[in-house]
Amino acid sequence: MKSFLHIALLVLWTATALGQTSSGTITGTVKDTETGQPVVGANITLRGSFIGAATDAKGKFQLLRVPVGGHSVIVSMLGYERLAIEGVIVARDQVRRLDVMIRSVPLQTEPVIITASRREQSLQEVPASVATLTARMIADRNNITIDEALRYVPGVNMLSDQVNIRGSTGYSRGVGSRVLVLLDGLPYTTGDTGEINWETIPMFEVERLEIVKGAGSALYGSSALGGVINVITREAPSIPELRFRAFSGLYDKPQYPEWDWSPKPRFTSGLLASYSGKSGSVSYLVSAGRTVDESYRENDAYHRWTLFTKLKVEISNSQSLTVSGNYVYRSHGNFFWWKDLTNATRPADGQRDGLVTSRRGNLSLAYKEFLSDKFFYTIKGIYFGNFWRDDSLGRVNNVSASHLFNLDVQATYFVNDIHVLTFGVAGNFDKVNANLFGSHPGVGAAAYAQDEIAVTGDVKLTAGLRFDWQKVSVLKATAQVNPKLGLVYLHDKETSLRMSFGSGFRYPAIGEIYIESSTNVSQVAVLPNPDLKSETSVSYEIGINRSVGNAMSVDLALFSSDFENLIEPSVQIKSYHPYPGSLVEVTGPVIQFENVTKARIQGLEAVIRVEWWKKFFSTDVGYTYTWSRDLADNTVLKFRPRHIVYTAGAFSWDEFRVSADFRYLSRIERIDENLVRLAPIVDGEQRVAIKLVDINTSYDLIGLGLPIRAGFSIKNLLNYSYVELLGNLGPVRTYFLSLEGIF
Amino acid sequence: MIAAIATLPLKMKRLPIAAITLLLLSCDHGLAPPPPSTFKPGFGGTVYFEKGTWPGPDSLVGLWIFASQEYPLDSVKVLQGLLSSPPKIFLYPSFTENLPFSVDSVSYSFLLPPSTYYYVGVIQQFAPELSTRSLRVVGMYGQSDVPPLPIPVVVTETDFVKGINIRVNFRKPPPQPF
């Protein structure tokens, strides 16, 4: 511990010392060209270095320790044209003034995306459908977790905590995910079941989410069959700030008296606070939170503590080291499904006393260095630990501990005006110890490369390839090669066409291969399946993005994906040995994860955004049609809605903002009947289309001299009753009050 | 807000109307508890257990009333019928619940989809693993001929059939396979 402190102090001292070289300062403002109003939160960076800042509430910024010489200053902000100011010369100890006007553009066209190609790109350069969610959008809607925020993205729907992008995932009983989630660019699925654990993502410290639709294994490896979601945490500001967010929600009475199980009102509330700033070349961020949700359902309450820290050391103008860590403790009632539709807010009898406690956390390191303004590399590593147990009537039922390490070394080389090369190697190590899955290690390695080729000034071609090798426990190792190809044609300044082809795969999670239940689930034996193969996908997309004037953008996409060897739990009659070492073989029904399905998902997606009346009012409409077929038996795939419609309208006037969201998901046509029958979930087949309306309002008290924003939301305004997942009634109407401040 | 809408050009006025229409489309309330008076088809009666014939706990793992759309059956057909989609064999009380053990009789109400159930009886699981070797029929609703024959039970959408009484003698089960 003592030596660690010495090393840390040495790093800090070195960083501070290196920062004290010959330098000057750039200071100025960023304003909107049309309105002349200051632009808050714009990013100002020096190309090829880590020097950067964000504008404050008055649009002011300050870049410190700028090396003497000429620089390119990049100004970027969501909803504004990205601006590069070349030849900004700074002399020693000079305070260089730079006042910038930036032009607003339709939001769909200008965000900077890093997930699609593992480097910063304008959205128009990306040959795939991409959506972004910013911290502001998340706060405006009073979303508490990431999965809640994702429900507002066109083409994305959630089945409980399983995310679907254009129908890719379906529902696999909480095991495995066909969408890869990254935390700051590194895979973030659990080591045992390969699922996404949303609550461990530090929501309050998220800067934005990038959602890339379509297969992405050519860059990111396993799990990216249907898409990639990258959660990008925020950087600490240069000026110290204390931020907090307090919220309280009240669940309304359910629509019907039969469902009104609680004699007292049910609340959900939380307090999140963070302190961040910069001292010399070290920026820091510490965040803690406490959330309690009494829930609208019996035995579904949870208590959660979260802690997040991020420390970034700018070792020099071209080198940085970031260390971040996260810890979450939660205890949660075990509500798997309802008792029946008459008792939709009460759990089935066996679940009334269940409790799941979990401790999860990660520690990550990222080192980035610019060797020149044309070449940089990053070394990133993450450890993700997961420990959970579920108890019932004081008896421990299941316990799992998993440790997952991921390492990624990536380099980006701007070869010339035509080629940009991105290449790297990755590795992972996984260790699981659970009574359900046994004790097994897993190890993997990968290498990838991608070339972005500017064929002409209007045409850009992207070609990439990734090789993955995986080995789990004593099973035979397997290998995968995944290619990608993309083409973007900029027809004019307002229109871009894109085409892409990519493949994806998902290596089965240790939980899927080795799950074994000696206690039996539903009296049916659950058996391991060491013969499980990777599931694979190939996806194609063609799309067009067009801006109409300065106030409207339209994005249309046609997509098609073929899936092979989809892994699903199946119930079959088989001969098996009832327990390890048994000489007796019996023939009976067993549940096993198997490669059972070959599927095709095709569809179209339209996203239209219009800003009206000098942008005081905006509307968003997203429509996704998904035609999914199980090619094995020519039926519709389970758990996929055919239509997803998302509409939103927002009105802003000075410090006041009001918005409304409407979401529609057509009734899921096919479900897992075996799950309903064997669980059994009484009335589990009951489901309807989902039609939800939310209203959000906020008022910024900055006009009164207080750096506080007050918000009020009504979720599920019409108190509509629905299920996303079998036997799980969705949240009733909820009233939210929130206060958010920055000091 | 209303005043603001009134000042909009005609095309713009359509927007709030469209938004309100969307809201109205959402005005049904979605799922609802089934009304208490809803009629559910099925059949019911009493199962009588011969006194002194109950087996020991080691060989009494599961006990259900079954209703099968197929006759005759064997162990494999029972398992397949339970797991087929849609199922051809139904269990009462449920797959995970049993009839009470060591009682003289039990009344039941078996709610089922309308169909003709050619074989109705009581089935016992006598070994820990649910398998082809762990099931046997221990009683059936039928004629006491030699050999006894099951009587079909016809359930229609408007019927709840009463009086389906079954006698169980663990020591004298119907001929196997069933």
B110 within a domain of the structure (yes/no): yes
Highest mean pLDDT of the ranges A16-20, A126-130, B6-10: A126-130
Instruction: Name the DSSP letter for residue B93.
Output: S
The string of pLDDT tens digits covering residues B46-56 is 999 998 899 98
- Is B53 part of the contact surface with chain A (CB cutoff 8 Å)? no
- Per CB-CB distance under 8 Å, the chain B contacts of A647 are 19, 22
Separation of alpha carbons A257 and A252, rounded Å: 12
Phi-psi region of A474 (alpha: psi -120 to 50; beta: other; left: phi over 0): alpha
Separation of alpha carbons A65 and A70, rounded Å: 14
Q: Do A258 and B33 touch (CB under 8 A)?
A: yes
| pTM for this model (two decimals) | 0.81
Q: Do B128 and A578 touch (CB under 8 A)?
A: yes
Separation of alpha carbons B62 and A111, rounded Å: 61
The string of pLDDT tens digits covering residues A567-607 is 888 777 777 777 667 777 777 777 888 887 789 999 999 99
- Per CB-CB distance under 8 Å, the chain B contacts of A259 are 33
- Per CB-CB distance under 8 Å, the chain B contacts of A525 are 129-130
Do A69 and A134 belong to one domain? Answer: no
Nearest-Cα residue of chain B relative to residue A343: B33
Say how many domains are in chain A.
2
Do A189 and A331 belong to one domain? Answer: yes
Query: Nearest by CB to B31, which of A525, A588, A686?
Result: A686
Residues of chain B with pLDDT > 70: what percent? Answer: 81
B148: tokens are: 């006894």
A107 within a domain of the structure (yes/no): no
Instruction: Name the DSSP letter for residue A81.
Output: -
- Is B19 part of the contact surface with chain A (CB cutoff 8 Å)? yes
Say whether pLDDT at B19 is over 70: no
Q: What are phi and psi of A200, to 5 degrees?
A: -85, -5
List of residues 6+ apart from B138 with CB closer than 8 A: B63, B121, B122, B123, B124, B168, B169, B170, B173, B174
In this prediction, residue A509 has a pLDDT band, given cuts at 50, 70 and 90, of confident
Q: Can you tell me whether residue A743 is helix, strand or coil?
A: coil
DSSP states along A690-735: EEEEEEEEEEEGGGGT--EEEEEEEESTT--B-EEETTEEPP--EE
Q: Do A586 and B129 touch (CB under 8 A)?
A: yes
Query: Nearest by CB to B31, which of A586, A649, A688?
Result: A688
Do A17 and A158 belong to one domain? Answer: no
Among candidate residues A444, A421, A455, the one with its CA nearest the CA of residue A217: A444
Among candidate residues A487, A656, A633, the one with its CA nearest the CA of residue A568: A633
The string of pLDDT tens digits covering residues A264-296 is 999 999 999 999 988 888 999 999 999 999 999
B53: tokens are: 């014939």
What pLDDT score does A20 carry?
Answer: 45
Phi-psi region of A152 (alpha: psi -120 to 50; beta: other; left: phi over 0): alpha
Among candidate residues A399, A475, A427, A415, the one with its CA nearest the CA of residue A451: A415
Do A280 and A352 belong to one domain? Answer: yes
Q: Do A688 and B12 touch (CB under 8 A)?
A: no
**Distance to chain B for A384, nearest Cα, Å:** 37
Among candidate residues A338, A339, A270, the one with its CA nearest the CA of residue A728: A338
B126 within a domain of the structure (yes/no): yes
- Is B87 part of the contact surface with chain A (CB cutoff 8 Å)? yes
What pLDDT score does B129 carry?
Answer: 77
Do A609 and A677 belong to one domain? Answer: yes
- Is A570 part of the contact surface with chain B (CB cutoff 8 Å)? no
Range of the domain at B160: 42-168
B57 within a domain of the structure (yes/no): yes
- Per CB-CB distance under 8 Å, the chain A contacts of B33 are 256, 258-259, 341-342, 344
Mean pLDDT taken over chain A: 86
Q: How many residues does chain B have?
A: 178
**Distance to chain B for A686, nearest Cα, Å:** 8
Residues of chain B with pLDDT > 90: what percent? Answer: 39
Say how many domains are in chain B.
1
Do A150 and A244 belong to one domain? Answer: yes
Q: Report ipTM for this prediction.
A: 0.75
Do A55 and A159 belong to one domain? Answer: no
Do A252 and A390 belong to one domain? Answer: yes
- Identify whether A347 is preceded by a cis peptide bond (ω within 30 of 0): no
Q: Do A522 and B96 touch (CB under 8 A)?
A: yes
Beta bridge partners of A112: A122
Q: Can you tell me whether residue A55 is helix, strand or coil?
A: coil
Domain boundary, last residue among A45, A70, A102: A102
Say whether pLDDT at B156 is over 80: yes
Domain boundary, last residue among A102, A121, A143: A102
Say whether pLDDT at A550 is over 80: no
What pLDDT score does B25 carry?
Answer: 60
E strands along chain B, which residues?
42-49, 62-68, 89-92, 105-111, 115-117, 119-125, 135-140, 142-143, 149-150, 153-155, 160-161, 166-168
B46 within a domain of the structure (yes/no): yes
- Is A439 part of the contact surface with chain B (CB cutoff 8 Å)? no
A657 within a domain of the structure (yes/no): yes
Query: Nearest by CB to B131, which of A256, A586, A673?
Result: A586
Separation of alpha carbons B127 and B150, rounded Å: 26
Query: Nearest by CB to A256, which of B22, B33, B129?
Result: B33
Instruction: Name the DSSP letter for residue A343.
Output: G
**Which of the two residues, A221 and A30, has the higher pLDDT score?**
A30
Range of the domain at A596: 112-742
The string of pLDDT tens digits covering residues A621-656 is 999 999 999 998 888 988 999 999 999 999 988 788
Do A545 and A566 belong to one domain? Answer: yes
Query: Nearest by CB to B30, which of A677, A679, A688?
Result: A688
The residue written with tokens 């206690």 in the block is A519
**Distance to chain B for A720, nearest Cα, Å:** 5
The string of pLDDT tens digits covering residues A10-67 is 444 444 444 445 788 999 999 988 777 888 778 888 877 767 787 877 788 888 888 8
B98 within a domain of the structure (yes/no): yes
